[in-house]
Chains A and B, each alone.
Chain A
């Protein structure tokens, strides 16, 4: 069964460093998403991406964040200068359709746990 894969599963970094979280969405999907979940808290939407550009982003997704689809398979989230409060689980998701009245079932990866020291 097709699945969304994320690497690495755990990333430890020093405050102020740049990190890149990687995701391989399901191959025929066109819509890609990043979410984060601080330990024990709810899931928060960061950004959606379609046709090589950001479709929508939340207030959390400020200038330190960026997303990219560098090739036909990978979808990355870059955090330029990490802060302690960026420590969280980051989930990537993908779907094949996002239209009004459509189901838009999103399939989530296993997540990358980011620890900022």
Chain B
């Protein structure tokens, strides 16, 4: 069974602190995505990671990928309140040249002032 697991599910952190969200997946994947979702809103693409060792950074967020461990991390540096949202990772699985997309359970982040 294809599984994508995130932890933690909920994260409450103080402004200015650092933290990491983890995304594990169960089988080989071509691509790994990170999305942000604000309450009642749609999904915003943050990062696409394609290869082992890939690292992408945007502002206070940095995503990395270890394909051997089937693990991606989303690191938050010096959190600010505006980062409060739910973060999803998603992976693609290729079947005969077409792709299925499996999302993780999501991590609900709340940054406290």
Known: A43-B43, A43-B106, A100-B94. 11 other contacts (CB 8 A): A33-B101, A35-B101, A43-B35, A43-B88, A43-B90, A45-B100, A48-B99, A98-B99, A100-B97, A104-B92, A109-B42
Which one, A42, A91, A106, contacts B105 given CB within 8 A? Answer: A42
> What bracket does the count of chain A residues touching chain B fall in?
20 to 34
How many A-B residue pairs have C-beta atoms within 8 angstroms? Tell me: 57
Residue-by-residue, is A84-116 near B (CB-CB < 8 Å gives 1, otherwise 0)? Answer: 000000010100001011011111111100000
**Chain B residues near A (Cβ < 8 Å):** 30-31, 33, 35, 41-45, 48, 50, 88, 90, 92, 94-95, 97-106
CA distance A104 to B49 in the complex (A): 11
Nearest residue (CB) in A for B100 is: A56
A56-B98, A104-B48 given; A111·B42 CB < 8 A: yes
